[in-house]
Structure 1
Amino acid sequence: MARFIINLLFFAAPFVAFWVFMVASRRIEGRPNLGWGDAPFGWLVVAGLALGALSMVVLGYYTGQETEAAYEPARLIDGDIQSGRAVEEQP
């Protein structure tokens, strides 16, 4: 769930940055009054997808398990559910 929220935040970052730009540009004289209708949604979506994909790659690289690890699925022991985990294989 945390990875989903992180990816969602990375996707939303360009939209938040454009909103900050719109608010800041309203305070500057001589600048047009921008609204969401003037937003380059295509570029914002592409930038958001690129950031989301990049975050998935970076998180997968730095938080992934070793390739030699084997997955042990979740089990029910004495009425308690023990979550799955990666176990190092013994040579």
Structure 2
Amino acid sequence: MRGIVQGILLFLIPFALYFAWLFLMRRVGPDNGEGKPAIAWRDAPWLVLTVVGVIVLAVGLLWFAEQRSMQPGERYVPARLEDGRITDSGRGR
């Protein structure tokens, strides 16, 4: 479940940054003399944001996987049940 949430959050980073920028531009930017903001959220570059989101997602997931991977020659020792509690055995020795 944590991996799914991380993936969704990584994918949404470009969208959040774009809409934060859009919000700031609408507050301080010019209105083109028409009384309406020069930039509208409907004009967002959806394809670019989606592609960048997928790239950020892929890089983030690769980074998370690399951080959790074991070193060459490291032995895997599974968690075990001790006194009715699951104890993490650590990362092998």
Does the TM-score normalized on the shorter chain lie above 0.5?
A: yes
- CA 1:50 to 1:84, structure 2 compared with 1: closer, same or farther past 3 Å? farther
Return the structure number with greater strand share: 1
Q: Summarize the alignment of residues 10-49 of structure 1 with structure 2, pairs less than 5 Å apart.
A: 10-26=10-26, 27-29=28-30, 30=32, 32-35=38-41, 37-49=42-54
Shift of 1:34: 0.9
Contact residue 25 and residue 34 of structure 1 kept, 8 A: no
Q: Which residue number corresponds to residue 71 of structure 1?
A: 76
| Deviation readout 1:4-39 (Å, 9 max, x if unpaired) | 55443332211111102211222311362312x222
Q: How does the TM-score come out when normalised to structure 2?
A: 0.69
Aligned partners of 1:60, 1:47: CA distance in 2, in Å? Answer: 20
SS in 1 for 2:91: strand
- CA 1:65 to 1:17, structure 2 compared with 1: closer, same or farther past 3 Å? same
Q: Which residue number corresponds to residue 9 of structure 2?
A: 9
Say how many residue pairs are matched. Answer: 86
Aligned partners of 2:67, 2:25: CA distance in 1, in Å? Answer: 38
Pick from 74, 78, 81: which aligns with 2:86? 81
Unaligned 5+ segments in structure 2 are: none
Q: How does the TM-score come out when normalised to structure 1?
A: 0.70
